[in-house]
Amino acid sequence: MIPTPGQPTKHYGIGGVNYHTGETVVIFRRRKRRPQIAEFLQRLLDKHPHEVVYVAWDNVNTHQDNEIEAVVRSAAGRLVLMYLPTYSPWLNPIEMLWRHFRREVTHCELFETVKLLLQASKDFFDRFNQTPAQVLSIIGANPT
């Protein structure tokens, strides 16, 4: 018998980018299910307590649920969900940033531990939050 390392430890990035300012909000979690998506939406609302937040996202099943609807209802009109057509990642600005993230952080990289990978991931978004003009360029936005 050859021993195997078992199931890989997975973490997921759940994020969004402000198309006007280049600011990102990203959380890393062990799961990417409805409670984590609801947590992310609440994080967006907390970051922008006086503005209406528009979220463009795909039709994945974790985006449609009572927990998500509860966050939308509790936002009292401050959270607007705009569902994109199926199989159209080019319409979602965060997808362009995820592609850049993969090229810079994970492409051809081997991390000794998941903790180091998560730290490199957080460092990427922290660094890019310091240079929002670069984020706007990556996502193809025209700053106003």
Stretch 54-73: mean pLDDT: 81
113-128 exposure pattern, b = at least 16 Cβ within 10 A, e = fewer: eeeebeeebeebbeeb
Residue 86, pLDDT score: 82
The confidence score (pLDDT) of residue 144 equals 58
Measured in degrees and rounded to the nearest 5, phi and psi for residue 62 equal -75, -10
Q: What is the pLDDT of residue 135?
A: 94
DSSP lists the bridge partners of residue 22 as none
Query: What is the pLDDT averaged over residues 102-117?
Result: 90
88 pLDDT band (50/70/90 cuts)?
confident
Q: What is the rounded average pLDDT of the residues 49-53?
A: 93
> Across residues 26-41, what is the average pLDDT?
92
C-alpha triplet 51, 55, 58: angle, nearest 5° = 175
Bridge partners of residue 56, in order along the sequence: 82
Can you tell me the distance from the alpha carbon of 140 to that of 143, in angstroms, rounded to the nearest whole number?
Answer: 10
Give me the domains of the chain, ranges plus CATH numbers: 12-134 (3.30.420.10)
Cβ atoms of 129 and 123 within 8 Å: the answer is: no
Q: Where are the beta strands (DSSP E) in 1-144?
A: 12-17, 24-29, 53-57, 79-83
Distance (Å, whole) CA 138 – CA 132:
10
The reported pTM is 0.84
Q: Which two tokens stand for residue 111?
A: 């991390």
